[in-house]
Amino acid sequence: MDIIVEKLVKTYGIQKAVDNISFKVKTGEVLGFLGPNGAGKTTTMKAISTFLIPDSGNILVGNYSVNKDAEYVKQNIGYLPENNPLYEDMPVIDYLKFVGELQGISKEKIYDSLLTVIDTCGLEAEKHKKINELSKGYKQRVGLAQALIHNPEVLILDEPTTGLDPNQIVEIRDLIRKIGREKTVILSSHILAEVEATCDRILIINNGKIVADGTTVDLRKQAQGNDIIKVKIEGGDVNDVYNELQKIEGAAVVDIIDADNSRFQIDSNQGTAIAASVFQLCVKNNWILTELIPVETKLEDIFKELTTE
Amino acid sequence: MNKIWIITKRELQSYFDSLMAYILLILFLGFSGFFTWLYGSDIFFIKQATLMPFFNIAYWTLFFFIPALTMRLLSEENRMGTIELLLTKPVSNWQVIVAKYLASLLLIFAAFVLTIPYIISVSSMGNLDLGQVFSGYLALILFSSMMIGIGLFTSSIGSNQIVSYLLALFIGIFFQVIFQMLGQSMVGIGGHILDYLSTVSHFESMTRGVIDSRDVIFFAGITFLSLVFSEIMLIRKRFA
């Protein structure tokens, strides 16, 4: 089930939380929402979940509009809100049953659904405990379980892994990826590594606007046009090497990182494969190329670059 | 209807789990029983086979107890954020409101069922007018329904239970006392309107055994309006 967000606008007072956002998520895609605090991630997700009514714009979930066919959208969405609100005084299993019944699961099927979801979320040992007796990680699992109970076509997860320990994070990520193969998943996170590990596509928003959209590979290219390599060249005078490196066609900036060990950093112009030229230069001058490290731009850098003014 | 019942069931469960239901039932029965049978202008004092003392004490007991019952219905959901979960399930705002209203009403109804021994006792002592008993209970149910409506509305406003309780009492006291007082000191159409808005006269005429459609419409109308206002408060949250 595809999700199409068209020109979504939402203002709180004078502050524009979401400013004319449009994007599309296809079935079988896991979309990661990245952005600093207050960027508009949660607002957008609340609007898709039908909870928040936007000022203008439309959201289609499988060709049904959240404004006109909210009932249909609600039936097909699994939603984990920010801060994972739960009825804390209820036992886990009663709560999940309550949600299942609300989602319209029939009496015959409800126990199967409960067992499946308790199994997938690893709640077997805790199912009779009251929710307020659970640790944060287990509460998070309950939140995830209630979003999954009716086997929805679309999953909206607002920071699904907060409060989980590293092992649980890995489990939940695997689960999300598994679900994401057949369904449409949107998740938000501050943790860049997480988005990188789970999502097919990343959407970075800042001040209510989309500032980047694409796969991690796309984003790297987009943010950093230059290829950067670090080299260590021995067998020649540092200054000579430096001068020669600067003469290479396509080398935009050459830096000496460490003169004693003759280490250099070379930024190439976009699209030029600088490594080959460096190698040939060394062969020509009989220098020894002992290190050649391509520098990957980290997602953190891209994020920082796109979301700071 | 099915969705409403699912939510109502959960609310009732939560009343009993949190002991709120037991506390209410014990306090209500204790309080009304004490003043009906043992103290003040009780049944033995007035020496008539009538449940009037019970109706009169229940009227005020309910006035103070019902807001305590309704104060957390929506304010707690607002505070915990669970309202977001509830409203993103396939239920409408109106279904949520009605379900919560019904849960409180059913609990109050259970309290009334537990006073059936009063009827049996009094009727064994003298010639009890069952018609009057029926209309008296109807008055209690209608009055409770109105107070639940008001309580639900004040609970929908914010996220603080105490504020909700006090606000419900504040609105309630206008219907109980203030409209009547103002009505008496005013003449003409304004006086009539204020008189009509006072619960006392409606309640008294019903406990005397007179079921007048105007009285029923009054209680049902205030209830309905409160529920509509509660729904508006819910919808408002989805815009901000």
Q: Which residue has the higher pLDDT, A235 or B137?
A: B137
Identify which of A75, A81, A98 has the shortest CB distance to residue B6: A98
- Which residues of chain A lie closer than 8 angstroms to B89, CB-CB? 74, 99, 102-103
Give contacts of B91 with chain A, Cβ < 8 Å: 102
Q: Dig out the tokens for A147 from the structure.
A: 């979003």
B81–A77 C-beta distance less than 8 A: no
What are the residues of chain B with a beta carbon less than 8 Å away from any beta carbon of chain A? 3, 6-7, 10, 13-14, 17-18, 80-82, 84-92, 238-240
Where do you find CATH 3.40.50.300 in chain A? Answer: 3-214
Residue of A nearest to B238 (CA): A52
pLDDT digit string, tens, across residues B81-113: 999 999 999 999 999 999 999 999 999 999 999
Q: Which of A177-181, B8-12, B128-132 has the highest mean pLDDT?
A: B8-12
DSSP characters over A186-217: EEE-S-HHHHHHH-SEEEEEETTEEEEEE-HH
B238 to A52: CB separation less than 8 angstroms, yes or no: yes
Structure tokens at A256: 């000496």
Q: Does A86 touch chain B (CB under 8 A)?
A: yes
Comma-separated ranges of CATH 3.30.70.100 domains in chain A: 225-297
A 124-183 residues with CB below 8 A of B?
146
Q: How far apart are CA A149 and CA A118, in angstroms?
A: 9
A3-214 CATH fold = Rossmann fold (3.40.50)
Chain A residue closest to B19 (CA)? A89
How many whole angstroms separate alpha carbon B14 and alpha carbon B146? 22
The answer to whether the Cβ–Cβ distance between B81 and A102 falls below 8 Å is: no
Question: How far is the alpha carbon of B82 from chain A, nearest alpha carbon, in Å?
Answer: 5
| pLDDT at residue B237 in the model | 85
Give A293's pLDDT tier (boundaries 50, 70, 90): confident
Q: Which amino acid is at A294?
A: P
Average pLDDT for residues B6-15, to the nearest whole number? 94
Over the stretch A185-225, which tens digit does the pLDDT of each residue have?
Answer: 999 987 777 888 888 888 888 888 888 888 877 776 666 55
Residue A300 predicted with pLDDT over 80: no
Cα separation of B228 and B234, whole Å?
A: 10
Three-state SS at A248 = coil
**Cα of A246 to nearest chain B Cα, Å:** 58
Q: Considering only alpha carbons, which residue of chain A is nearest residue B87?
A: A51
Distance CA A212, CA A201 (A): 10
What's the pLDDT band for B12 if we cut at 50, 70, 90?
A: very high
Tell me, yes or no, if A107 comes closer than 8 A to chain B by beta carbon.
no
- At the topology level, CATH places domain A225-297 in Alpha-Beta Plaits (3.30.70)
Bridge partners of residue A9, in order along the sequence: A19, A56
- Per the CB < 8 A criterion, the answer to whether A8 and A57 are in contact is yes
With contact defined as beta carbons under 8 Å apart, do B153 and B101 qualify?
Answer: no
Q: By the 8 A CB rule, do B104 and B148 touch?
A: yes
Residues in chain A: 309
User: pLDDT tens across A138-170, in order?
Assistant: 898 899 999 999 989 999 999 888 777 888 788
Task: Give chain A positions within 8 Å (CB) of B81.
Answer: 81-83, 85
Nearest to B10 among A49, A50, A98 (CB): A98
**Residues of chain B contacting residue A71, judged by C-beta atoms under 8 Å apart:** 90, 92
Whether residues A81 and B81 touch (CB distance < 8 A) is answered with yes
| Domain spans in chain B, listed from the N-terminal domain onward | 2-237
Are residues A103 and B240, on separate chains, in Cβ contact within 8 Å? no
Indicate whether this complex's ipTM tops 0.95: no
Q: Is B18 close to A89, i.e. CB distance below 8 A?
A: yes
Q: Which residues, 6 or more positions from B153, have their beta carbon under 8 angstroms from its beta carbon?
A: B168, B171, B226, B227, B229, B230, B233
Sequence-distant (6+) residues with CB within 8 A of B12 are B21, B103, B106, B107
Per the DSSP assignment, residues forming a β-bridge with A64 are A61
Contacts of A77 in chain B (CB under 8 A): 88
| Dihedrals phi, psi of A82, to nearest 5 degrees | -60, 145
